[in-house]
Structure formats: structure tokens, C-alpha cells
Amino acid sequence: MKKILMVSLILVLLITACSSIQIPASIKIANQNGYAPRSTATAYAASNSTGKAYINDEYGLSISIPNGFTATDAPADGGYFQDYTMGDNEGFGYLTPTLFTAGDSLETVGKQVIETQATGLEKIKLLQDKAVTLSDGSQAWYTQLTGYYTSWDEDMEIRLTTVINSGRAITLVLYSNPENFAYWDRESNSLRDSIVLSPPRVNGLPRSQVLMLSGGESSNPREYDPATTHGSGDYLIFEGLVTFNPKLEIVPALAAGWDVSEDGTVYTFFLQPDAVFHNGKPFTAEDVVYSWQRAAHPETRSDTVMTYLSDIVGVKEMVEGNADFISGLKVIDDHTLQVTIDAPKPYFLYKLIYPTASIVDRDNVESGSEWYRTPNGTGPYILTRWESMVSMVYERFEDYHGDKPSIPMVVYNLYSGDSFRLYEEGSIDIVDVYDYNVERVSDPSEPLNKELLTSVSLCTSYVQFDVTKAPFDDVKVRQAFTLAFDKTKYLDVVLMNTDVAAKGIYPPALPGFSQELEGLDYDPDRARQLIVDSKYASVEAFPEIVISTAGYGSYADSLVSALSDMWQKNLGISVTVRNLDPNTFLEQSSQQDYGQVTTTGWCADYPDPENFADVLFHTDAQMNKGNYSNPALDRILEQARVEPDVANRIDLYQQAEKIIVKEAPVLFLYHFGNFELVKPYIQGYILSPVSTYPQIRYLSIDQSYWE
């Protein structure tokens, strides 16, 4: 029988499961016949007799490859990571991380590896299962077992060597027929004993100096442009005149300070004299004017500029194409800018934190359509590498005008797998925990529990009705649809009570939130009667009901399914679902007709009720996607904008919320629960209720953890 020696190099970041990943192209076998060794491999390769080694800088692992072995690159479709031949014997290997639970002992990890690697074996016999010391003095757990492999209809032997390095478990897996191991026993022991551990490195830096995160990549270029993004923007690269500190207080950014006129309408900003763009170009007041006028220019098509900059005199006229410049901006000198707003508004500076007000470099923006891939900002980090679908690498900007961030490098791994698993593996340092894992990490006996941070976010999820389209042009119909949805059941069954039911628009902890607010609670009998009392009198008179959703996955699917089921059950209504491209959903929903109902939500950009009630429900609000209009509500919101007394202002916003709840332009669902895991070596992390808080610039890494 042909002898088969199959060799798997498996980085096991372990708990129970095993899943293959595609190996980065930069990881190769270093040898004397064609493969260029990585910088960390050169000295090591010279010190062993074969001159060949498997090197993985990120995990801090090297293994000598015995004489006679050859290696080939991983196939394009992933799967096997290395092929090996030795004489007439062929084999293969692959890199496949599993999960590692913080606090597990080497023995525990080693025994858990058995569960994953013995899958498919019957009649298992454990030959060895013990601690061993490798040639470099590292401790390892060694397991040798045999069994009958049903898929191949033959006996198999597996040899497992597990080590732990910087919070990760790494397992060398060798498997073949038992008689082959007798033939290659010296080589298999050589592979085992050649394992050498070193401090992990990422992109040339020690792992202890790199913040590792997980992310995605938008196919919509407008999401990378501060003037058009719908998110919190890339605050590592771009910044505005002001920002938040960890206490969510407004502090200087590109503005060193400011004065406000007695009537509260003229702001004079004194700009940072030493601020420069990443290419060394000096920052001046003209850059602010250019950035804001670009955002307001009709050709930019920003659907956030009116929300965040329209308080500035002249912005509205420029957006509407009736002016070529913003009249409320006046350059005094290179480092002094005067900004005039239309009325004294206590929240004006808050709005300048949003990305729409961030400063861009004119030369950079006008260099071509893909300028955003090499952005030239003034922020604390420079984007030094962006490999689509792989990673984005940020390096600290050493000429930054403010306090330089502590962490030298930030790496976002793009589409690298399930983020929760990546966190368990040690591949990333921070992760959001979603519904299906919340129960597990909330258990005090779970090792990850000590790394868990929780809060209720300043976010509200809701279903939006277009009040200009039948049948939602009738308030009684809107109320009926709201009363026909059992949000308590939805939270219990689908979201496992990880979120808080919403009666109105304001989240808990936001100024203006009221425990006494009476919402439209679940009442299907009343809902049916409201349909009868409406101008339509019966659901048979309704047009087709279409729900549009961004289609983000299980959350969107479960919500739409719940809405459809309950409305069918309680009102006898069938709905049609339209899934939209999530990358362009917000733009599409504001520019095109996608039916009468949309699943959406809103998170605070700043902790003020104006950011909810006024921004979402005023007749002229840019974010009023449901076209709701109520003159009485508008008057209250306009009065609240300029009300100087805090108590009176809050009272006005609570009056506004009662009107919104009664008029039911939206079906309020819930306020998100925040659950995040943060590695213990990450210092300074705050579970911030607002997305515009520049978290990373305030973080540091405990170096002693890696020593």
C-alpha cells in the first residue's frame, strides 16, 4: 500500500470547533530553493540544518521542515495550506484556527484539541496524553491516538502537539496510517520538537503595539467621504473643529478655542496653528470653508449636510443651488474663522462633531474619483495600506497637532470570519456581542464574563411609515399597525430580552426620556377597530403593503418575518418584502419609491433630544424619511431650538414626543442593548453611548500582558 504522511500545521486558538480559513499570501515556507524568507525567518533558517522553516509572525511560531520535504503554495480556493512530498509519500497541511477560552490551562486546551481532531474516528485508543518539554524549553501537551476512520475505511494515527503563546493555542497535527508513523517516527518527532515560540508580530511591529479589530468594507465610495457618509466616519483620519473627550464633553480638535457673541449667533474659531495634513501641508481656515462648501454643494448630493450644517447662515441657499458660497463663513486670517448661525442654539457645537463637518484636503479630494483610498486628513492616524477584502492598516501620525495616541498601529481585518470567534481566538481585541451570544457571556461562570461591558445605547429601532402613501396617510391605520405588533413577544422570543422595549423616540439616559410616557401598547382588538374607524373601513380597501429593508441578515429577516406574521394574524394583511442593497439603502430610501414601510432606526450623534425629535420629525428635516408633517409639532420643536432654560427646553421635547407617539408616524420597537467584549490588556475603553466618540485615540495597551 502507498505510504501516506499527511501533515497539518494548525494554529488552534481553541475551544471546541475547527474551521478552515484561507491563508494570507504572505505566509510561505522559507527554504533555500526559491522562497524568499520573511525577515523574522532569515536568522532562524540559517541556524537549522535544513534551512527550511514554516514561519508565522502573527502567532509567534516557527517549525523546521525536515530534509526531503517540499512545499507548494496554497491553492487559490483556500483549503489546504501546504502540500508535502517525501519520497513516495504524499500529504498535505492547512492552517485552521479554532477557539481558545481565556484562562484555560495547557492540559485543558490539549484535551479539547482531541475532540476536534478525532472527529470521524471510531474505536479510539489513547496511546499518550501528557505534558512534554520541547527543545527550546517550551511546555507542550502531546497526544497520540489511533482509531478507525470511517470515511477512508482504514486505521489512522494522529499525533497532536499543543503549545500556548500570548493567549493563543497552537497545535501541530500529524496524521497518517499507523504503519507510516513507524516509518517516519524520527521525522514526526523532529517536527514536534522543532517548534519555537517568539513574541507575536503584526506588520513588523510587536503584537503588543497593535490594536486588532474586525470590520467590513462598503462597496459604496460615498461612505468613505465625510460629506456623504451615513456612519460615524473615519475619525482616525479626519477630524473637525471640535470633538468629544471620554466624558462626552466638547473639546478642541482643529479649533484651539472659540468665542461666542453675546447673542449666541456668531462663533469665532481660533484654529490650531501647528495642525498639518498627513502630507505635511499646513491646515488653514480656507480648508474649513472648502470642506463645508463642498458638503453643501448640490453636486455632492449630501443627505446629511442639512441635518448637521444648516444652522450656518447660507448653507440652505447653497444646497438649493441659490448661492455659490456659504455667506455665514468669514475667514479672518489663516487661523481664525468666523461662523454665523441663524439663531442661538445650545447644540450647535455638537453638530460640528459629525463627519459632515470634518475637514478634507482640496488637492486630495480633487485628485481623482478614488481619492478616498489614499485619504489625506489631519487626524491622529494615517491610512498606510488598504487591501480590499483583506485589511486596512493605520499608523500613528507622528506630526499630529494634539496628544498623540498611545497605540502605534490599528489593523482592521476585513471579512475575516465571525467576529465573536475571532475575539475568542485572540485575533481581535474588541467585539460587539449580539443576541445569540449574550446569554453565554452574561453568565458569571463563563470566563469571558469578566471581559464584558454592558449598557443601554442611545439608539432606537423603529418601523417607519410613509404618511403620504395609502393607507398610512390615515393616523388610525398607523395606530392600528402599531397596536397589532407585540414587541414584548418579539424581544423575548427573537432578541432574548437583550434590548429594551421602546414606547417613544428617546432612549433611556438621554435628556428628555420619561418613564411616565404612555405608548401604544399591543392591543389587537383595538387595532382591528381602528381599521374599521379609519377612512378605509376595511383592509380590503388597502393597496399592496410593501416593506423595504436593508437586508442586513438575520436581524432584518427576523424582524420582517415577525411584522408580517403579526400583521397577518391580527389584521388579516399580507405584505410584500423588498430587500435593498445595504450599502446604498439610506440613499435609495430617500431618493426612490420603495413602498410604504421601512425598517430602520436612529442612534444619537450627540446626547441631546434635538438629535431625535427635531432631526427625524420636523417637516423640513432632511432625515424625515416618512414625510411626516405636523405644524403644531414644528412650532414646539422650533421653540425648543432656542429655549435657553434647560428645564423648559426638556419639557418642550417631552411635549413633542407625546405628539409623535399619538400620531404614530413610526412604530417604535426597542432601544438597543450594548454588549461588548474587551481584552483585559486594552486600557481606557469606554462603552460610549454615541458613535461619534473617537474611542481609539484614548486607548492604550498594557505591555506587561505580553511580557
Q: Note whether 272 and 182 are same-domain residues.
A: no
Q: Report the run of H or E that residue 549 belongs to, with start and end.
A: strand 545-549
Q: Note whether 628 and 587 are same-domain residues.
A: yes
The answer on pLDDT for 272 being more than 80 is yes
Question: DSSP string of 101-122?
Answer: -TT--HHHHHHHHHHHHTTTEE
Q: Is 403 exposed, middle or buried (0-12, 13-18, 19+ CB in 10 A)?
A: exposed
3-state secondary structure of 256: strand
Supply the pLDDT for residue 65: 73
Q: Note whether 657 and 567 are same-domain residues.
A: yes
Q: Which of 153-167, 382-396, 402-416 has the lowest mean pLDDT?
A: 153-167
Q: Note whether 520 and 636 are same-domain residues.
A: yes
CATH value at residue 131: 3.40.1000.10
Supply the pLDDT for residue 578: 83
Q: Note whether 181 and 230 are same-domain residues.
A: no
Answer whether 509's CB lies under 8 Å from 661's CB: no
Looking at per-residue confidence, does 703 or 22 come out higher?
703
Domain finish residue from 312, 338, 369: 369
C-alpha pair distances (Å), 267 with each of 151, 243, 285, 306, 706: 75, 16, 14, 19, 48
Answer whether 601's CB lies under 8 Å from 462's CB: yes
Residue 94: which domain range?
Answer: 5-198
| Residue 101 pLDDT level (bands cut at 50, 70, 90) | low
Per 3-state DSSP, the chain is made up of helix, strand and coil in percentages (nearest 5) of 30, 25, 45
Domain finish residue from 369, 389, 419: 369
Q: Is 176 exposed, middle or buried (0-12, 13-18, 19+ CB in 10 A)?
A: buried
| Residue 32 pLDDT level (bands cut at 50, 70, 90) | very low
Q: Give the chain's domain count.
A: 3
Q: Note whether 352 and 257 are same-domain residues.
A: yes
Looking at per-residue confidence, does 304 or 78 come out higher?
304
Q: Note whether 539 and 648 are same-domain residues.
A: yes
**Amino acid making up residue 547:** I
What does residue 131 show for φ and ψ, rounded to 5 degrees? -80, 140
Neighbours of 130 (CB within 10 A): 11
What percent of the chain stands above pLDDT 90? 62
**Averaged pLDDT for residues 595-619:** 93
Sheet holding 430-432, edge to edge: 430-432, 673-678, 452-456
Cα(202)–Cα(196) distance, integer angstroms: 18
Neighbours of 392 (CB within 10 A): 20
Q: Note whether 600 and 511 are same-domain residues.
A: yes
Q: Note whether 301 and 188 are same-domain residues.
A: no
Domain-embedded: residue 207: no
Domain-embedded: residue 417: no
Q: Which residues pair with 168 in a beta bridge?
A: 165
Q: Which of 428, 425, 452 is nearest to 438 (CA)?
A: 452
3-state secondary structure of 161: strand
Supply the pLDDT for residue 366: 97
Q: Note whether 308 and 159 are same-domain residues.
A: no
Which of 79-88, 158-167, 366-375 has maximum average pLDDT? 366-375
Q: Is 326 exposed, middle or buried (0-12, 13-18, 19+ CB in 10 A)?
A: buried
Domain-embedded: residue 144: yes
The answer on pLDDT for 628 being more than 70 is yes
Answer whether 667's CB lies under 8 Å from 462's CB: yes
Q: What is the pLDDT of residues 505-551, one digit of tens each?
A: 999 999 999 999 999 999 999 999 999 999 999 999 999 999 988 75
Supply the pLDDT for residue 538: 96
Q: Give the pTM.
A: 0.83
The answer on pLDDT for 5 being more than 50 is no
Q: Which of 16-25, 397-406, 561-570 has the lowest mean pLDDT?
A: 16-25
Sheet holding 381-387, edge to edge: 210-215, 409-414, 391-396, 381-387
Domain-embedded: residue 26: yes
| Residue 11 pLDDT level (bands cut at 50, 70, 90) | very low
Domain-embedded: residue 28: yes
Cα(569)–Cα(228) distance, integer angstroms: 41
| Residue 591 pLDDT level (bands cut at 50, 70, 90) | low
The answer on pLDDT for 27 being more than 90 is no
| Residue 2 pLDDT level (bands cut at 50, 70, 90) | very low
C-alpha pair distances (Å), 546 with each of 123, 370, 599: 57, 36, 11
Answer whether 166's CB lies under 8 Å from 58's CB: no
Domain finish residue from 183, 198, 213: 198
Looking at per-residue confidence, does 258 or 112 come out higher?
258
**The total number of residues written for the chain in this structure:** 707
CATH value at residue 492: 3.10.105.10
The answer on pLDDT for 592 being more than 90 is no
Per-residue cell: 281: 501641508
| Residue 589 pLDDT level (bands cut at 50, 70, 90) | low
Neighbours of 593 (CB within 10 A): 11
Q: Note whether 183 and 277 are same-domain residues.
A: no
Q: Note whether 264 and 185 are same-domain residues.
A: no
The answer on pLDDT for 552 being more than 70 is no
Instruction: Supply the mean pLDDT for the chain.
Output: 85
DSSP state of 249: -
Domain-embedded: residue 214: no
**Averaged pLDDT for residues 234-262:** 97
Q: Which of 344, 389, 431, 387 is nearest to 676 (CA)?
A: 431
Q: Which of 30-44, 610-624, 666-680 has the lowest mean pLDDT?
A: 30-44
Sheet holding 336-340, edge to edge: 255-260, 266-271, 336-340, 329-333
Sheet holding 29-30, edge to edge: 29-30, 53-56, 61-64, 196-197
Sheet holding 139-149, edge to edge: 5-10, 168-176, 154-165, 139-149, 121-133
The answer on pLDDT for 489 being more than 90 is yes
| Residue 345 pLDDT level (bands cut at 50, 70, 90) | very high
In the Cβ-directed half-sphere of 622, how many Cα atoms lie within 13 Å?
A: 19
The answer on pLDDT for 7 being more than 50 is no
Question: DSSP string of 594-627?
Answer: --SEEEEEEE-SSSSGGGTHHHHHSTT-TT-TT-
Domain-embedded: residue 40: yes
Q: Which residues pair with 259 in a beta bridge?
A: 268
Q: What is the pLDDT of residues 392-449, one digit of tens each?
A: 999 999 999 999 999 999 999 998 778 998 888 788 999 999 877 999 999 999 989 9
**Averaged pLDDT for residues 160-173:** 83
Q: Which of 645, 643, 631, 670 is nearest to 506 (CA)?
A: 670
Q: What is the pLDDT of residues 176-215, one digit of tens each?
A: 788 777 777 887 888 888 888 888 889 889 999 999 999 8
What does residue 262 show for φ and ψ, rounded to 5 degrees? -60, -35
The answer on pLDDT for 582 being more than 80 is no
Domain-embedded: residue 701: no
**Amino acid making up residue 475:** V
CATH value at residue 292: 3.90.76.10
